[in-house]
């Protein structure tokens, strides 16, 4: 069964009947029968791919999981206001390290803001933000730069990777599918937490929130981190779909 292809076809806002799920499943696998479907549907419920919403009604995801909604502080609000005013048509995302604390054993006490912008604009955004704030602003810093120049509430500007998962509500939101790949891809972000905690962080996020595994794997592949992601999933007790 091509579970990833099936999951990718599901509309998370739609309620499906068993017949609709059966038809959708048959589009992604050969030799599909209604008898085998009964077995598959139980496996999908157990795996959190779908859940029973009502009588003969199903929806995507695990009923015990919820959508991840980033909560931004006042300083993030100022960065967002700046970007919306000066670069209103630019694709960007914002993340602050305090958001990691719900997944970490060793809490982050001093916040850092990561602003991902289109590569062609990163230098301009860096210059303009630096002119409007007293906080430290760094662009694509290495570890030595972070050791020398980083201060609490620093703003770090990085290139946004094309095809990166976008926010569901606001374009600047950082979804978990993007965050958990950036955490093992960007040196400046990796500098902010203990990487030994990553498998447990991933497990906690997966158990608490809905994560689109197709988007997660696709972005990991885009950044050359698919094997590292799968290794962390196995360490965190998350089933790996190799289809």
- Evaluate whether 42 touches 48 at the Cβ level (below 8 Å): no
Confidence bin at 63 (pLDDT 50/70/90): low
129-184 tens-digit pLDDT: 999 999 999 999 999 999 999 999 999 999 999 889 998 889 999 999 999 999 99
Give Cα 124 to chain centroid, integer Å: 26
109-123 tens-digit pLDDT: 999 999 999 999 999
CATH code for the part of the protein at 3-60: 1.10.10
Confidence bin at 209 (pLDDT 50/70/90): confident
pTM, to two decimals: 0.76
Mean residue pLDDT of the chain comes to: 88
Tokens of 148: 């020398």
- Reported as half-sphere exposure (CB side, CA atoms, 13 A), residue 85 has a value of 9
Scored b (16 or more CB within 10 A) or e, 83-105 reads: beeebeebebbbbbbbbbeebee
CATH 1.10.10: which residues of the chain?
3-60
Whether 2 shows a pLDDT value over 60: the answer reads no
Confidence bin at 212 (pLDDT 50/70/90): confident
Closest alpha carbon to 155 in 106, 121, 188: 188
> How confident is the model at residue 3, as a pLDDT?
65
CA angle in degrees (0–180, nearest 5) for 224-227-232: 120
């Amino acid at each position: 069964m091509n579970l990833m292809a099936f999951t990718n076809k599901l509309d998370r806002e739609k309620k499906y009947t068993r017949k609709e799920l059966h038809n959708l499943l048959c589009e992604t696998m050969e030799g599909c029968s209604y008898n085998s479907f009964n077995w598959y549907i139980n496996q999908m419920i157990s795996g959190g791919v779908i859940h029973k919403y009502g009588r003969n009604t199903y929806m995507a995801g695990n009923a015990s999981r919820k959508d991840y909604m980033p909560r931004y502080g006042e300083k993030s609000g100022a960065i967002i206001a700046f970007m919306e005013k000066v670069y209103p048509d630019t694709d960007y995302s914002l993340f602050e390290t305090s958001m990691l604390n719900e997944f970490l054993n060793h809490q982050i006490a001093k916040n850092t803001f990561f602003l991902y912008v289109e590569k062609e604009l990163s230098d301009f955004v860096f210059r303009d933000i630096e002119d409007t704030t007293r906080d430290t602003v760094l662009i694509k810093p290495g570890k030595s730069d972070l050791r020398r120049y980083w201060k609490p509430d620093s703003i770090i500007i990085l290139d946004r990777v094309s095809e990166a998962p976008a926010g569901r509500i606001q374009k600047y939101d950082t979804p978990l599918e993007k965050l958990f790949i950036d955490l093992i891809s960007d040196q400046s972000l990796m500098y902010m937490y203990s990487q030994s905690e990553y498998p447990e962080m991933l497990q906690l996020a997966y158990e608490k929130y809905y994560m689109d595994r197709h988007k997660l794997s696709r972005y990991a592949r885009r950044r050359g981190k698919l094997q590292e992601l799968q290794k962390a999933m196995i360490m965190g007790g998350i089933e790996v779909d190799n289809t």
